[in-house]
Structure 1
Amino acid sequence: MTADRLLRASAEHSYDPDVEIDWDAPLADDLYFVPPHRSSLYGTPLWDALSEQQRITLTRHEASSIAGLGIWFETILMQLLIRSYYRDDPTTASSQYALTEVADECRHSVMFGRMIDKLDTPVYRPDGVNAALGKWIAATGTGPRMYAAILICEEILDTLQREAMVSEQVQPLVRMVSRVHVVEEARHVRFARDELASSVRAAGRARLAFDKVVIGRAAYLCGTRLIHPAVYRSVGIDPAAGRRAAWANPHYRETLRWAGERVVAYLSSLDLVAGPLWRMSGLLPLLDR
């Protein structure tokens, strides 16, 4: 059973960020915080006009934005898993793994918070309507919409971090944070994929029709708020102008498509990708938009 295997893997391969990461090591002056070709402005006239240090500063804030979104989603995920555990039989491997994942996510959120503090940036996270929708899904999410929303954010961050953790252009701190998260997140993705497939099989047509709308909204949020517009202020660019340039940037649009490729393929195999919000998210291949 998947949950049994994941419990064993968690016991054998879990990490303590306090031990694994050298939080006191200074940041390198000449290294980026995300691979430069993944910066939202890479290849645009705005990017060309920035100095090397400004480009590094921009990626510093972009890395913080990604971490802030990760914390926000993980906090929602922990609430969903606790609610699920409250309803379930605590003697089953599935419910015990859900609680084990909560412990993992607690460490991850602390790790991301410490990284943001070390980067000395604002805390970037969803606000307004997105924040309200986050509260709603944390309080009500079950079944397909719960696990699909989890997967969208988890797999996009996982793809970005798998590249960052091996890039010699990226700060050692960011590489180590990425490595710790990738190793443990692989288990979470496996669990969520299995639970999602089971919940889709059990759901009725009306339930799936509603959940597809919620799933599309989660995809739209993750695609459009992975990089918070306020990050552009760090290099003297108006947030609205920066967002327009990023959204029109073919390099960044390809990064979004690439980051979402695995999860889009999996959700498509379950017939969960549909509607205009998906097309507006930036996560679909160009021909499908």
Structure 2
Amino acid sequence: MTTTTEERARDRKKTAERLLASSAKLSFDPLKEIDWEAEPVEGAYYLPPHRVSLYGTALWETLTEAQRIELSKHEVASVASVGIWFEEILMQMLLRHAFDRDPTSAHVQYALTEIADECRHSVMFAKMISWMGAPAYGPGRVSHELGRFFKATSTHSQTFGGTMYVEEILDAFQREMMNDEALQPMVRQVSRIHVIEESRHITYAREELVRRDLGPVRRRYEQLLLGLVIFRSTKSLIHPRVYAAVGIDPEVGRRAALANPYWRATKVEMAAKAIGVLDRAGLVGPANRWLLRRVGVI
């Protein structure tokens, strides 16, 4: 059955009202909720060892336990800095989305609420990187400059499709991290706050995606552009310079991670939910499936 414009508007309003109510009940200020003066726990990983990009490789076997922990720290810092990069893009896309719509609507008010959440998340990730004493690696220069273009030109499907993908990837990592009592408490606490608040953002993006009707030509175009977003954001998760922190040549480390079946399996697992939603929305197809295979998420 085809959904009418009126039905979509009612559904959008109900979703936004529910998310606004949830935000009012359960939101966090990480500057107050987290003890940023806490010391790291000696001997604790920052990321589950089997999720580190070199886990199971010959290079992994050459590392001491201390080096493995150090690499897990730098990989968390890399992912967090890419999270900041994308959240900054997302905030600008949401502002563009709200700019053309009625600010008295619950839908726009939730968009503004999400922007406020993302501001706090970016500060939280930045403070965690500083707390770890790691660099803010970022996504690399090419992805950074492509993000500058994407945030200014993204369509509805690209905005919410890209948002849903990146947030689902982070959510999958962090749900595992927040429940792993062997990890650094600071990382678990940051993960918990992000998971709770991002669950609302994922719902908002996912439901916007499935409401959109696309013709066959436009669908192929959106598939291609989303494929490029997925390719660049996934490729950027682990900056090659993280390997230098444990004495590995960045290019050697990068090649080992790309060939690592454990790391490829992690990417497929972490992306599975997002890829499923995009597929149901008609945003996975011939125009982008090759890109998804190439970056290792399917």
**Which TM-score band applies after superposition, normalised by the shorter structure?**
over 0.9
Matched residue, 2:277: 266
| Aligned mate of 1:73, from 71, 86, 101 | 86
1:8-44, Cα deviation, whole Å (9 max, x unpaired): 0000000111121111110012001101110000111
Code of the residue aligned with 1:86 in structure 2: it is F
Using the alignment, how far apart are the partners of 1:142 and 1:101 within structure 2? 18
The alpha carbon displacement at 1:204 in A equals 3.0
Moved >3 Å (runs of 4+): none
The alpha carbon displacement at 1:135 in A equals 0.7
Confirm or deny: 8 A CA contact 1:152 1:218 kept in the other structure. Answer: no
The alpha carbon displacement at 1:127 in A equals 2.5
Matched residue, 1:194: 207
Confirm or deny: 8 A CA contact 1:33 1:171 kept in the other structure. Answer: yes
Matched residue, 2:295: 281
Aligned residue runs from structure 1 range 124-139, under 5 A: 124-139=137-152
- Percent same amino acid among aligned pairs? 48
Code of the residue aligned with 2:296 in structure 1: it is G
1:49-107, Cα deviation, whole Å (9 max, x unpaired): 10010000000000000100100010000000111111110011100000000000000
Using the alignment, how far apart are the partners of 1:134 and 1:258 within structure 2? 25
Structure 2: runs of 5+ lacking an equivalent: 1-13
1:159-183, Cα deviation, whole Å (9 max, x unpaired): 0000000112210000000000000
**Is 1:104 aligned to 2:114, yes or no?**
no
Matched residue, 1:27: 40
Code of the residue aligned with 1:40 in structure 2: it is S
TM-score normalized with structure 2 length? 0.93
Using the alignment, how far apart are the partners of 1:236 and 1:90 within structure 2? 52
Using the alignment, how far apart are the partners of 1:82 and 1:107 within structure 2? 16
Matched residue, 1:52: 65
Confirm or deny: 8 A CA contact 2:268 2:296 kept in the other structure. Answer: yes
| Aligned mate of 2:154, from 141, 162, 173 | 141
1:126-150, Cα deviation, whole Å (9 max, x unpaired): 2232112101110011211111111
Matched residue, 1:181: 194
Using the alignment, how far apart are the partners of 1:131 and 1:138 within structure 2? 11
C-alpha RMSD of matched pairs (Å) = 1.0
Code of the residue aligned with 1:78 in structure 2: it is M
TM-score normalized with structure 1 length? 0.95
**In the comparison of the two structures, how many residue pairs are matched?**
282
Aligned residue runs from structure 1 range 134-283, under 5 A: 134-199=147-212, 201=213, 203-274=214-285, 275=288, 276-283=290-297
Using the alignment, how far apart are the partners of 2:221 and 2:140 within structure 1? 24
